[in-house]
Amino acid sequence: MKKIVVIGGVAGGMSFAARMRRLDETAEITVIEKSGFVSYANCGLPYYVGGVIENEDSLLLQTPQSLWKRFRLDVRTGSEVLRIDRESKQVDVLNHADAHEYSLSYDYLIFSPGAAPIRPNLPGIERSLSLRNVEDAKRMFDVVSLKPTSAVVIGGGFIGVEMAENLVHRGIKTSIVEAQNQVLMPLDPEMVTLVHMELESRGVKLFLGSALASINVKNVVLANGTEIDADLVIMAIGVRPEVTLAKSAGLEIGERGGVKVDQFNRTSDPSIYAVGDAVEKTDALDYSAALVPLANIANRHGRVIADHIAGKIVRPVPAQGTAIVKVFDLTVATSGWNEKKLTAAGRNFVAVHNHPASHAGYYPGAQGMALKLLIDPQSHQILGVQGVGKEGVDKRIDVIATAMRGGITAPELADLELAYAPPFGSAKDPVNMLGYISENVLTGITPTVQWHEVEKKVSEGYSILDVRSVAEVDRGTLPGAQNLPIDEIRERKEEIPKGKILVTCQVGQRGHAATRLLREMGYEAFNLDGGYMTWSNSPANNKEKVGI
Ligand SMILES: Cc1cc2nc3c(=O)[nH]c(=O)nc-3n(C[C@H](O)[C@H](O)[C@H](O)COP(=O)(O)OP(=O)(O)OC[C@H]3O[C@@H](n4cnc5c(N)ncnc54)[C@H](O)[C@@H]3O)c2cc1C
């Protein structure tokens, strides 16, 4: 009979424990959980604070009693592992209720303590609240129920943005302070503008590129001296792997600061496995060590460990970092690497932007979305994808994340036979369209120019030709652009500029057709990828905001 002790009874720990029981009825499995709750839905906590999830109980997926009844798991909440003694294969446990300390021996130890919110050592930091577990959420809920007038969220990551939305939902004047010049760092700058617009349109004040200096009784002060009213301060600048116990037990810590594990999630001690936010994952693209504090991969790896201990065949699971977040009416989703990361790593890539409708335009309710695909120019491997929009973004990113996992190349997205009827999509789904565009770009049928290359191209002598209608151009175009509507190009060919031509339209589609026509006519034409919409959503040009 195996004696197994699990440290941490939420995503990674509980996925492991339940799977282990299903594979081995004889194992003695004890789960030690520091907080007062087990198997709770931490991803739902911001929505509990915001009053969207009204019933606290719906966040509590299991109790120690239900886990004993169904799985014969000995779950001890309010109990903290204080030490791991690898020599004697024991952990020391403190029961917080009665301050009783005792030891538990193990054959296998599963380490899943999660991550700890980063809390910088700044004046007044003790007044800020962080959100990690049910107790934190209750504390925050109570403060919010006192009806504070103003709140400042420090950090514009996924949790920070979710918190801002939920505080607005509770009628609180909310600001986000973010040290970088954008929120949601997995997005590239031309994609995140839409998120900034959405937040601002909902009354969230953004202080970007601003570092927090101090927290006072009624406000926060930024490094540049700006003071922002803050009855409530939420600290959400990120998390770090909770490795204190692992370090003191002498387990190997990796270069990114998480517990180092092999492909079966074994630590440097073969009797100890580690999972979740506390460990380093293997990046699916370059196999480097990565911190990916997300629930899916924690759950998946929990199962991997159980399978490995039970002697099953295990498929190692690298991390793509597929993530999604709701920002008021917007859905933001990503998978793989973004342009910033590829550039920093010196990797070659081709970017493709598209602004399709969520479903057939003639069926009521279609919404625009912005999609961006990053592709390896040699192998045509999909390196990353980003999507922002009101509807249908989730399924497109999930399809592409699946394609990435399956090794489907960017042009092959055109071949995917996806479910279609007018209320749901288009006969050429946005995913297929990314495949078509990729093929055209990668094979040189339609060479493209990116939004950030326009100025350089103009300085090199390119002329800009806007092929939209006169009415559209009147609403805004690129500086210096000449208007020649696509349907008039053949008749007005004497007006086509000499030399290299940068063709632009609204989203890149008419630009593609016009570029092809001009090339057939013998001109050296290039299409502005993503058209005026992508260009005007770029940080430098977004005074001309045009939406998705
Ligand atoms: C507010 C919030 C929203 C989130 N939203 C999303 C989302 O929408 N999508 C997504 O993919 N991910 C989301 N996440 C991240 C996701 O919850 C984590 O990636 C996942 O829970 C990690 O699993 P884990 O097992 O490593 O850690 P956790 O699930 O955090 O579990 C760790 C547990 O270990 C316990 N513990 C720590 N130390 C000890 C000790 N010494 N002894 C005993 N117990 C200990 C802790 O109390 C904790 O309950 C969110 C996280 C938070 C906090």
Q: What does the pLDDT look like over 335-353, one tens digit per residue?
A: 999 999 999 999 999 999 9
Number of the ligand 1 atom closest to the C-alpha atom of 137: 1
Selected residue with higher pLDDT from 57 and 171: 171
Q: 32 alpha carbon to ligand 1 midpoint, in Å?
A: 14
CA 146 to chain centre: 32
Q: 278 alpha carbon to ligand 1 midpoint, in Å?
A: 9
Q: 114 alpha carbon to ligand 1 midpoint, in Å?
A: 5
Q: Which amino acid is at 108?
A: Y
**CB of 13 closer than 6 angstroms to any ligand 1 atom:** yes
Share of the chain above pLDDT 90, in %: 96
Share of the chain above pLDDT 70, in %: 99
Q: 178 alpha carbon to ligand 1 midpoint, in Å?
A: 23
Task: Provide the annotated active-site residues.
Answer: 43
**Residue 201: φ, ψ to 5°:** -65, -20
pLDDT of residue 230: 97
pLDDT of residue 258: 98
**CB of 50 closer than 6 angstroms to any ligand 1 atom:** no
pLDDT of residue 253: 98
pLDDT of residue 56: 86
Q: How confident is the model at residue 546 (pLDDT cuts 50, 70, 90)?
A: low
**CB of 291 closer than 6 angstroms to any ligand 1 atom:** no
The structure's pTM equals 0.96
pLDDT of residue 332: 98
Q: What does the pLDDT look like over 440-491, one tens digit per residue?
A: 999 999 999 999 999 999 999 999 999 999 999 999 999 999 999 999 999 9
Q: 245 alpha carbon to ligand 1 midpoint, in Å?
A: 16
Whether 381 shows a pLDDT value over 70: the answer reads yes
Q: How confident is the model at residue 96 (pLDDT cuts 50, 70, 90)?
A: very high
pLDDT of residue 61: 84
Q: Which residue has the tokens 């920002």?
A: 327
Q: What does the pLDDT look like over 239-250, one tens digit per residue?
A: 999 999 999 999
Q: Which amino acid is at 377?
A: P
Q: Provide the mean pLDDT of the chain.
A: 96
Whether 313 shows a pLDDT value over 70: the answer reads yes
Number of the ligand 1 atom closest to the C-alpha atom of 293: 19
Contact by Cβ (8 Å): 63, 77: no
Whether 423 shows a pLDDT value over 60: the answer reads yes
Lowest mean pLDDT among 60-64, 164-168, 328-332, 501-505: 60-64
Secondary structure letter of residue 415 according to DSSP: G
Residues 85, 86, 91: CA angle, nearest 5 degrees:
40
**CB of 265 closer than 6 angstroms to any ligand 1 atom:** no
Selected residue with higher pLDDT from 56 and 49: 49
**CB of 295 closer than 6 angstroms to any ligand 1 atom:** yes
Q: Which amino acid is at 262?
A: D
E strand residue ranges, 456-535: 463-466, 482-483, 501-504, 525-528
Three-state secondary structure readout of 319-356: ECCCEEEEECCEEEEEEECCHHHHHHCCCCCEEEEECC
pLDDT of residue 544: 54
Q: How confident is the model at residue 541 (pLDDT cuts 50, 70, 90)?
A: confident
311 Cβ partners below 8 Å, 6+ apart? none
- The pick from 6, 93, 294, 397 for probing ligand 1's pocket by mutation, whose C-beta has the most ligand atoms within 8 angstroms, reads 294
Residues 118, 48, 125: CA angle, nearest 5 degrees:
30
Q: What does the pLDDT look like over 259-293, one tens digit per residue?
A: 999 999 999 999 999 999 999 999 999 999 999 99
3-state secondary structure of 55: coil
